[in-house]
Structure 1
Amino acid sequence: MERPVIGIFGAGKVGTALARLLVASGHRVLIAGSPRQTALDLVVGVVAPGAEVATPDALVDAADVVIVAVPFGKAATVPWQRFGDKVVVDAMNYWPPIDGNLAEIDDDPRSTSEINAARNPAARVVKSLNHLGYHEMEDDSMPPGSSLRRALAVVGDDPDARAVVARIIDAIGFDPVDGGALAHGVELEPGHPIFGRELSCAELGALLTPSTQPAARAA
């Protein structure tokens, strides 16, 4: 099966760590950073060799899957209006020590991914990759069949989009666990038992709200 083209918004520690894993797993990776980042081509060439720097528009045009890995407070700077029918992975976390206490988020009963998905209801938003620290991504990546593989949850309202993201997670060295609807993304956020913990499929499944069979993988 041909690997999907991955576009990453965010050239920070999370975005570049993901880019390295994705390039190593055979994906074409495009990455867009902040307009204020200077010499981005040089930076990406050093920290994520093989990834291609792109403008936001070029990234969206070329990517099959878009990963949003910018600071949560910068989420509105990403071109959500162009994500119609794209599989979009929300890899962000709301961190009050960094973002400040945002009353509109604190008072909203929805998960943060539901809030982001509302920016473009046509986007096929999936929550994943956020409950794993960037410093653990490469260290914890393991080949298929390893008993030491770490599990990562995949939640979203579109089952096909969840399956696409599950295959990507499998390809970069983790066991995907299907967590059902996007609303269950709250279980993956900071302050909840899943966040930041190294868990097996069975352990992660026991902590998720819905039924949790391992998500579909590539054949």
Structure 2
Amino acid sequence: MFLMKIGFIGGGHVAQILAAMFIKAGHSIVLTNKHGLDRLEPVIKRLGSKAEAGNLAEVARQDLVVLAVPYKAVFELDEDLLKNKAVIDATNYFPHRDGEFEEVSNHKLASSQLVAQHFIGSKVVKAFNTIPVANLKSLSSDASEDKQIAIPIAGDVEVKDTAEKLIKQIGFVPYDVGDLKESIKFQSDTPLFLFSGDRKSLANKFVQK
């Protein structure tokens, strides 16, 4: 059975929804936030016995780390925090909120490439950033893969395998876009952002782009 210990940097809505779905699939969760672990007590209580609050070091010790914070907050974290770690980047870059990241704004780098550059030695996959997180539960399905909602992913080959398993476990189908630079195709400034559709519809959307 595929079971993991998953850490979340961020304890907000994105982290809570994904954590609940991962827990339902049997995984254990550690959440953290910058506002103090006491603020997470109601969240942990609601998520149940497979969830706990921890500091950044404890989150980083998990099998997989999910980034679920505002994009600019990533670069406030120590660059050695996620060295040699498997990372899912679920962040989105919004210039009006996050400030100017010129290489990302000019499409010289995908936003997740900059994340990977920041965390020295990390292995990063972009995923879970396109569908509004509030809709994840309602869109999850145990239907056949050709009828399930597709989630685009891109990045490190080994971590993609893990991400694909997680995506399937929570009732979606993964759509592999390629390496991390290809994640630029489904960032927040593309037609893929906020789009939800099956694998065929998603493929067509990429062709139209």
TM-score, structure 2 normalization: 0.89
CA shift digits 1:137-196 (9 cap, x unpaired): 11111125266421001100x212111111011111110111111011111111212111
Equivalence for 2:196: 198
When structure 1 is superposed on structure 2, of 165-174 and 198-207 the one drifting more is 198-207
TM-score, structure 1 normalization: 0.86
User: Which whole-Å CA distance do the structure 2 matches of 1:184 and 1:47 have between them?
Assistant: 37
1:1-219 equivalent positions in 2, closer than 5 A: 1-34=1-34, 36-37=35-36, 39-49=38-48, 50-61=50-61, 63-103=62-102, 105-107=104-106, 109-143=108-142, 145=144, 148-156=147-155, 158-208=156-206
User: Which whole-Å CA distance do the structure 2 matches of 1:147 and 1:180 have between them?
Assistant: 20
1:12 partner amino acid: G
User: Which whole-Å CA distance do the structure 1 matches of 2:161 and 2:192 have between them?
Assistant: 21
Q: Which ranges of structure 1 fall in alignment gaps of 5 or more residues?
A: 210-219
1:114 partner amino acid: Q
User: Which whole-Å CA distance do the structure 2 matches of 1:171 and 1:106 have between them?
Assistant: 34
Secondary structure at 1:125 match in 2 = strand
User: Which whole-Å CA distance do the structure 2 matches of 1:79 and 1:24 have between them?
Assistant: 31
Q: Percent identity?
A: 24
Secondary structure at 2:184 match in 1 = helix
Q: CA deviation at 1:44?
A: 1.6
User: Which whole-Å CA distance do the structure 2 matches of 1:82 and 1:110 have between them?
Assistant: 22
Q: CA deviation at 1:101?
A: 3.9
Are 2:146 and 2:199, in contact at CA under 8 Å, matched by a contact in 1? no
Secondary structure at 2:15 match in 1 = helix
User: Which whole-Å CA distance do the structure 2 matches of 1:162 and 1:91 have between them?
Assistant: 13
Secondary structure at 2:192 match in 1 = coil
User: Which whole-Å CA distance do the structure 2 matches of 1:194 and 1:104 have between them?
Assistant: 20
Q: CA deviation at 1:52?
A: 1.0
User: Which whole-Å CA distance do the structure 1 matches of 2:159 and 2:146 have between them?
Assistant: 27
CA shift digits 1:109-146 (9 cap, x unpaired): 10000011001342110000011111111111112526
2:159 partner amino acid: A
User: Which whole-Å CA distance do the structure 2 matches of 1:163 and 1:178 have between them?
Assistant: 10
CA shift digits 1:7-56 (9 cap, x unpaired): 1111011111111111111111111111x246234232245334211111
CA shift digits 1:78-111 (9 cap, x unpaired): 3441322211011000112322344464246100
CA RMSD of aligned residues (A): 2.0
